[in-house]
Amino acid sequence: MKEKIGGFLILIGVSQFLLCLKIAEFLYPNYSVANNYISDLGVGPVAYIFNGSIILMGVLGILAAYLLFKWNKVFSLLLLLSSIGAIGVGVFPEGTGILHSLSALITFLFSGLGAIYSYRVDDKISRFIWPVLGVISLVALGLFINHIYLGLGAGGMERIIVYPVFIWLIGISTVIIHET
């Protein structure tokens, strides 16, 4: 039962963040998903939406990691680290320097690794999708760090890091809910 609750917490956390992210993008004046960083939403007129939502996602992820620890320790650790990073992104908004950048890197890196590792916790055909999503995210992270945006703009490339992780989290949370 604890594992199912953990799965629901992941699903709720990522779903509310994804919806709030889109709302913040729509409300932010002249925001460009191609040219603006995601974290641009953490400062200015929609900061309360973005920062509150990403902090909530991180808190729910930490609770889920605790509830899932006996189910799989490595998965829980990767979820915990990425969730701590997510909280850091909200607590240290863009413009606060290294703390924000480090928090974002922790979130991106451990989310991608978590997706790859999920191959070991899922015994369905979906297990083959998670590593692909993780690799896409990590390759995009490497390109992003090196300012190689492939014509997508900095914001577009950053979304290629994040969106595969959203897909993975929604998918793996449903696996956890239904299989534990």
Mean pLDDT by 10 residues, the chain (180 residues): 97 98 98 97 97 98 98 97 98 96 98 97 91 98 98 98 98 92
Residue 44: what pLDDT? 93
Report the CATH architecture of 2-179.
Up-down Bundle (1.20)
What is the pLDDT, as a whole number, of residue 45?
96
pLDDT value, residue 141:
98
29 contact partners, CB below 8 Å, separation of at least 6:
45
Q: Domain residues of the chain, as ranges?
A: 2-179
pLDDT attached to residue 179: 86
pLDDT score of 123: 86
Tokens matching residue 143: 């390109």
Report the predicted TM-score, pTM, of the whole model to 2 decimal places.
0.95
pLDDT of residue 94: 93
Phi and psi at residue 107, to the nearest 5° = -60, -50
Query: Residue 30: its pLDDT value, please?
Result: 97
What distance, in Å, lies between the first and last C-alpha atoms of the chain? Answer: 8
